[in-house]
Amino acid sequence: MKKWFAVIGNPISHSLSPEMHETWLKQMNVDATYIPIHVELDHLEQAVESLKLLGCSGWNVTVPFKEAIIPYLDEVDDSAKGIGAVNTVVKTLDNKYVGYNTDGLGFINSLGRLLPEYNILIIGAGGAARGIAHALKKQGFTHLTIANRTVEKARVLAEELKAGQAVTLEVAENTLSKFDVIVQTTPLGMKNSDASLPIQLHQLKENAIVADIVYNPLVTPLIEEAKKYNVRTINGLGMLVHQGALAFSYWNGVNPDTDGMIQQLIDQLGGNYVNR
């Protein structure tokens, strides 16, 4: 039977995943299709049962169902258990549906080679920050600092990780020269949101890496500011593509082309895509 994959979410029409996966399926000669499915907020359980019943080969899960889907799956992998959120569901050979989280590792893969001794500053302590922080710890990065507007939430995350410390945004800004990698996970800079910077970059270390998980616009105010310091900047498109590539490899057993996909999306979305 032809395989089929899906992404469920609400809203879902603007998701870039169908196009990304369809392109990869063609490139890798996999006889399958990938479709977006809009799920009503109170119909998640029925939707999951239907996907199982119809033999879906695997699916992605996006906002707002990443946490809520967990009780409806047969098993949850460690990558998703610690974070409490699933973004990829894989059908096993014995027809079980297992939840994974590829967001954090996808983000790390998008950064390229990192040294384990790097000091990493994570700005934000919400769901996205948790996913990235847990994945970083699992990959052996232990010099983690979480900075958040509500510092208590950063403290809770640092304690949960048993690695790293919590600071205020102000302290992060004033001690920025300590950090090799800065990871921006708040919605600041996202289209239609506050365009201010979470922290100023005056004390940015030479050769630091500044990564923003936001990809609409492609050049966020933070990335724009970081470029003035001639450091390496990475936007959220890398995370989107690399989390998708991991899901693709779990489903199909082969690794798709990530660099080509990032370039395809940049070409298609234009310099600063907003109106989608």
Q: Kindly report the CA angle at 130 between 24 and 211, in degrees rounded to 5?
A: 60
Per-residue contact string for residues 40-69; x = within reach of ligand ATR by CB under 6 A: ------------------------------
Alpha helix (H) residue ranges in 150-204: 151-161, 169-174
Candidate segments 17-25, 71-79, 127-135, 253-261, binder of ligand ATR by CB under 6 A: 127-135
Pairing of strands 165-167, 144-147: parallel
> Which string of b and e fits 153-163 if b means at least 16 CB within 10 Å?
bbbbbbeebeb
Shortest-Cβ-distance residue relative to ligand ATR: 126
The span from the CA of 50 to the CA of 100, in Å, is 20
Candidates 125, 135, 136, 183; binder of ligand ATR (CB under 6 A) is: 125
Closer of 183 and 209 to ligand ATR (Cβ): 183
Q: 3, 26, 52, 66: which is the annotated catalytic residue?
A: 66
Residue 30 has, within 13 A of its CA and on its CB side, a CA count of 22
Distances, alpha carbon 203 to alpha carbons 47, 166, 175, 233, 247, in Å = 49, 19, 7, 16, 37
Which residue, 66 or 143, is less far from ligand ATR as judged by CB?
66
Among 120, 121, 128, 183, binds ligand ATR (CB under 6 A): 128
Least Cα distance to 182 among 201, 167, 164 occurs for: 201
Residue 148 interacts with ligand ATR (CB under 6 A)? yes
* 138 flagged as catalytic: no
84 near ligand ATR, judged by CB under 6 A: no
- Told to check if 153 binds ligand ATR by CB under 6 A, we report yes
Nearer to ligand ATR, 51 or 211 (CB): 211
Residues 149 and 171: their CA atoms lie apart, in Å, by 11
Query: Count of residues binding ligand ATR (CB under 6 A)?
Result: 16
Which positions lie near ligand ATR, rule CB under 6 A? Answer: 124-129, 148-150, 153, 185-188, 194, 198
